[in-house]
Amino acid sequence: MPMHETLSATGIGVSLFDLRHTFESAQPLTFYAEYNAQSNTLTYTSGAHIINVGASGGVEKGTLLVVSKDLGYSVAEVTRRFRLSDNMRSVYKRISTDSFMRASIERYKGMRLTLNDPWETTLCFIISQFNNVKRIGLITKNVVRTFGPAIKGDNDNVIAHSFPGSGDLAHATIKELMACGAGFRAKYIKEAAEYCTNNLSLQGLRSKGHDELKEELMGISGVGDKVADCIALFGYGDTRAFPVDVWMQRAMERMYFKGKKTGVRKIHEFADKRWGAYSGFAQQYIYHYARNARIGVDAKPRLGK
């Protein structure tokens, strides 16, 4: 937790919640928040605020301890960010359509979808392309430290940095972004930041339906079908979105298409028919299970029947 801050704390009762699984499941917080597995605590910035969250108790019933300088803001932020209003029992009932999904839920019970700022989500998933989780986090944290507005403590010392907005990065040079480790993605980050600052209001897309939202998002440099689905799901709470990367494609082919090569469009159609408005929840459980079990790389049984 940050030093030289006057902090207060309060608890929020939660059920079917697992902080570690949520943090480790390749959502935006995975890439820039700080998680301590030993204490099961998470620290991240939201605007000019530093949010500290600690989970205690069991997955079925537990408590989130929120520690912050502004508890009113922070409790509302944690409630929104971790989608604490989601009825996970209803979600599990809706997506438990086969033995593979049931196994995924059992292994990662309590993993939540998060709801993040649309630009924050856009930047994280542009960085994610052709990348691994560890390196995505390294690049994202470098970008935050380099371009994020400073957050100062009680003694006027810099204790953290806010996540940089598109305007902060629109003024960055390709060279500066390359210095953060962005590589070929620097060009896309720069172009996306300029576009989202000057030509597109990401906040203004909140009223769009799934198809129209994706179409607008794919107008951003560096945003293809998969990244658009990630932004829709994690930036707008569009739970009909079903991001398909190489892990998801392998898992879906193996578990639901008898190992046959299957196009992304057909996978989307299958997901929409099977899980509908809950597709995003199903995707996150399939993805996290598949990536950790290396489905499609190592031999695993076909369970999705």
Does residue 7 contact residue 67 with C-beta atoms inside 8 Å?
yes
The reply to whether 297 falls in a domain is yes
Residues 54 and 197 in one domain: no
- 286 and 305 within one domain: yes
The CA distance from 283 to 150, in Å, is 35
pLDDT tens figures, 107-117: 999 999 999 99
Average pLDDT of the chain to the nearest whole number: 94
Residues 263 and 277 in one domain: yes
Q: What is the pLDDT of residue 6?
A: 78
Burial class (CB in 10 A: 0-12, 13-18, 19+), 86: middle
Domain shared by 171 and 227, yes or no: yes
Q: Are 7 and 68 in contact (CB under 8 A)?
A: yes
Strand (E) positions, 105-188? 150-152, 158-161
Same-domain status, 232 and 303: no
One domain, residues 219 and 132: yes
Last residue of a domain, one of 43, 70, 85: 85
Measured CA to CA, the distance from residue 233 to residue 252 in angstroms comes to 19
Tell me if 1 is assigned to some domain.
Answer: no
In the listed set 236, 261, 279, which residue is the last one of a domain according to the structure?
236
2 in any annotated domain? no
222 and 146 in a single domain? The answer is yes
Read off the pLDDT of residues 24-61 as tens digits, 9 standing for 90 and up: 999 999 999 999 999 999 999 999 999 999 999 999 99
Banded pLDDT at 293 (limits 50, 70, 90) = confident
Contacts of residue 111, Cβ cutoff 8 Å, sequence gap at least 6: 18, 21, 22, 25, 284, 285, 288
Q: Are residues 102 and 21 located together in one domain of the fold? A: no
Q: How many C-alpha atoms does 197 have within 13 Å on its Cβ side?
A: 16
Supply the CATH number for residue 76's domain.
3.30.310
Do 108 and 252 have their domain in common? yes
Q: Are 123 and 216 members of one domain?
A: yes
- Total number of domains in the chain: 3
Q: In what order do the strands lie in the sheet with 34-36?
A: 8-14, 62-68, 49-57, 41-46, 34-36
* Burial track 113-130 (b if 16+ CB lie within 10 A, e otherwise): bbbbbbbbbbbbbbbbbe
103: in domain:
yes
Are residues 184 and 223 located together in one domain of the fold? yes
Asked if residue 177 is part of any domain, the answer here is: yes
Within this chain, do residues 108 and 182 fall inside the same structural domain, yes or no?
A: no
d(C-alpha 271, C-alpha 281), whole Å? 11
> Which residue, 236, 263, 295, sits at the end of a domain?
236
Convert the pLDDT of each residue in 95-133 to its tens digit. 999 999 999 999 999 999 999 999 999 999 999 999 999
Q: Could you tell me the residue range of the domain that residue 74 belongs to?
A: 8-85
Is residue 59 in some structural domain? yes
Q: What is the pLDDT of residues 229-281, one digit of tens each?
A: 999 999 999 999 999 998 899 999 999 999 999 999 999 999 999 999 999 99
Flag whether 3 is in a domain: no
156 secondary structure, DSSP code: S
